[in-house]
Structure 1
């Protein structure tokens, strides 16, 4: 059954995925309403660590319809540059974007779409839902024996901002990806740091034949390889490196050890059975989709959505954006989410017909039930 087009499509989340979804929805005549829990439509970017820079150059880091800008397209933009870019992008959209509105639940309506509940008490009828809430709000901390008795500091890299608070301390950073090594390297000049990984670090050169790796990913189409191919090619986290990180580990500036097996009250037990006193452990162990509001639909399996390429396999009119490896290697990145948005919105549009002209709809009152 085709859903009614007199109701909007609700986009949950106003970060890069939600903004890309809004643009794609507008381009096919849908009526998107973006509901964003934060006060600014910049996603989680302001909450990342201060020294973060994109792993891709500016020329490959734009959303559809707006170049990243700046004098040097080959630079790697800083966190604050990304925040400013997303603000400009949101301002360019002729869309209904509502900030400081958290979606608390999505309920099905038999044959007629969904009812979206918010923390403001609103109940909003929706023809379809685009879950674009990302994963930053759901950092993954692995369960390890003894953690509950450990007296030191345990945190996820999502809550790390700068190295100065760790000055003079003994710190372990867990993870083998870009964020783990970037943070560990930054900390190494302030603290005694060990990088704990389950396997040797896989270095990938940042530049090949004088060009940034992302140039080659783009021209070869590797950035767009489907998930089925990627899961055969990519087995472990890979670290983009200009040579700085490899040298830091080789020289002993940054120590690397096999992952510890347990916590003790004042430290950790390493894989070789030795114990060490440690002041803090920072886990750079990834994130999980932040989708608790979909629990009433029964579409989650251990917190993960049942979907194929971003389209729900359980509920027509429900699609996702920003999932890792959703459709390709770059699905949950600035450079790739726009392609995914076009695909899932096209699938959603098949469920919605007879869209109201855009400017007329923007002056209409959104139906709200309390």
Structure 2
């Protein structure tokens, strides 16, 4: 038996998305061409844009297709900064590296000043700190970026409050993990920019989108043919765009089922390991993410031991897998360096079943005992 509990890293493509992608792959035509084949492919892209816009609560003209969520985050952070004559950037201390790294790049290369918004012990940003900082430095702030939910803990952030505090300051939100899993509306939140990604929602790898207010024009990262409002040049990836739209329109994610699986798993973990700590449990969370600290273990060892039992999970963001360092997210929440390296992320999806939970729970006690023993030997 093999159990996949790493849906926060990537999800299986929905069959309906695979079928849509296959059909599009068989069509000939560059969506920028003016002949019949090009116009037909362009129509497919624009129909898909409409479906995605409906799913995310924005205008179709506000959907800018990119090659990934990372590209969309980079375009938003750098573009909004370059669009302003101000130098201060505010981001939360728990952002994905796709936001953290471009912000740091702007500090190193463009003279930006970066202020990180701390989080409380439950993983929710400190709104009082944000309010105070905005009040004191409103005339200097180019943009604010706070993720909708955290990729390691699943903790959902109060984005509506962030936008309210920001006032006229542009707010960007990385909503890659939240899209299709919880209520999410670009318009209702009042955001300037938002990021989504295909492979987190049953769509294909290699497709994402920047949702950007129609009235906002930011400098481009890629120059060329002028596609996507002249913000993201490059031939549009029609098959992936069509597949993403199919996944979004299908609405196959069952939040209540996924939450039930996660809760059942967490109850089982605590029953067998009362010393385990579920990080962010007291805050609102996504249905499928569970981040658990097992004191006295080493997370990399636990991951490999779980993998040997055919259970796939992770130590945090897949993008930083293989890099042995403590989680900046867990440390921001107050965990020590050691505890931050004693945690695993289990993330559930619609394809998981109760038998998956039962199997993972059946192998976990032995894995933890072996992990404790290995860590004890390593400390000698």
TM-score normalised by length of structure 2: 0.26
Compare the two structures and name the one with the higher strand fraction.
1
TM-score normalised by length of structure 1: 0.27
